[in-house]
Amino acid sequence: MTKILTSTIIGLVMTSLFLSSTGWALADSYGAKQIPTTTPIKHLVVIFDENISFDHYFGTYPYAANPAGEPRFEASADTPTVNGLTGDLLAFNPNLVNPFRLDRSQAFTCPSSNDYQQEQLAYDGGLLDRFVQSVGKTGHDPLAFCKPDNSTTMGYFDGNTVTGLWNYAQHFAMSDNSFSTTFGASEPGEFNLVSGNTYQVTPADIPTVAIAGTAVDGVDPTYDDCSDHTPGNVFSFVNGSNNVGLLLDAKGVTWGWFQGGFKPDTPWDGTHPVTCSSSHTNVAGEEVHDYDQSHNPFQYYAATSNPHHLPPTSVAMIGRQDQANHLYDLSDFWAAVDHGNMPAVSFLKPIESQNGHAGISSPLDEQKFIVSTINHLEKTPQWKDTAVIISYDDSGGWYDHVMPPIVNQANGPEDHGCGTAKAGAIQSRCGHGPRQPLLVISPYARTNFVDHTMTDQTSILKFIEDNWGLGSIGNQSFDVQANSLDNMFDFKDGNAGKLFLNPSTGEPQ
pLDDT in tens, 464-483: 999 999 999 999 999 999 99
Measured CA to CA, the distance from residue 424 to residue 427 in angstroms comes to 9
pLDDT in tens, 359-368: 999 999 999 9
pLDDT at 345 over 90: yes
pLDDT in tens, 419-431: 999 999 999 999 9
Q: Which long-range contacts (CB under 8 A, 24 or more apart) does 310-318 make?
A: 310/268, 311/263, 311/267, 315/339, 315/341, 316/30, 316/341, 318/256, 318/343
- What pLDDT does residue 437 have? 98
Mean pLDDT score, 361-377:
98
pLDDT at 17 over 90: no
Measured CA to CA, the distance from residue 343 to residue 321 in angstroms comes to 12
pLDDT at 265 over 90: yes
Chain-wide mean pLDDT for the chain? 93
Residue 33 pLDDT level (bands cut at 50, 70, 90)? low
Is the pTM higher than 0.85? The answer reads yes
pLDDT at 181 over 70: yes
- What pLDDT does residue 386 have? 98
CA distances in angstroms from 62 to 68, 218, 443, 507, listed in the order given: 18, 35, 22, 15
- What pLDDT does residue 14 have? 37
Class of the domain covering 35-488: alpha beta
Q: Are 156 and 56 in contact (CB under 8 A)?
A: yes
DSSP E strand stretches across 282-408: 287-289, 327-329, 345-349, 386-392
Measured CA to CA, the distance from residue 167 to residue 458 in angstroms comes to 26
Q: What is the DSSP string of 46-93?
A: EEEE-S--HHHHHTTTT-----TTS------TTPPP-S---THHHHS-
Residue type, 360: I
pLDDT in tens, 106-131: 999 999 999 999 999 999 999 999 99
Please state the separation of Cα 273 from the chain's center in Å.
28
pLDDT in tens, 429-457: 999 999 999 999 999 999 999 999 999 99
- What pLDDT does residue 401 have? 98
* Residue spans per domain, the chain: 35-488
Find all residues with CB under 8 Å of 65, minimum gap 6, and list them: 101, 158, 160
Q: 3-class SS at 167?
A: helix
Mean pLDDT score, 381-398:
98
- What pLDDT does residue 18 have? 37
Please state the separation of Cα 249 from the chain's center in Å.
21
Measured CA to CA, the distance from residue 442 to residue 229 in angstroms comes to 41
Mean pLDDT score, 270-295:
97
Please state the separation of Cα 470 from the chain's center in Å.
21
pLDDT in tens, 184-235: 999 999 999 999 999 999 999 999 999 999 999 999 999 999 999 999 999 9
Mean pLDDT score, 6-31:
40
Say how many C-beta atoms besides its own lie within 10 A of residue 496's C-beta: 21
Measured CA to CA, the distance from residue 438 to residue 221 in angstroms comes to 27
pLDDT in tens, 69-101: 999 999 999 999 999 999 999 999 999 999 999
pLDDT at 27 over 70: no
Residue 12 pLDDT level (bands cut at 50, 70, 90)? very low
Please compute Rg for the chain using Cα positions.
Answer: 22
Burial annotation 161-177 (CB, 10 A radius, 16+ → b, else e) = bbbbbbbbbbbbbbbbb
Q: Which one has a higher pLDDT value, 170 or 509?
A: 170
Residue 21 pLDDT level (bands cut at 50, 70, 90)? very low
- What pLDDT does residue 139 have? 87
Residue 8 pLDDT level (bands cut at 50, 70, 90)? very low
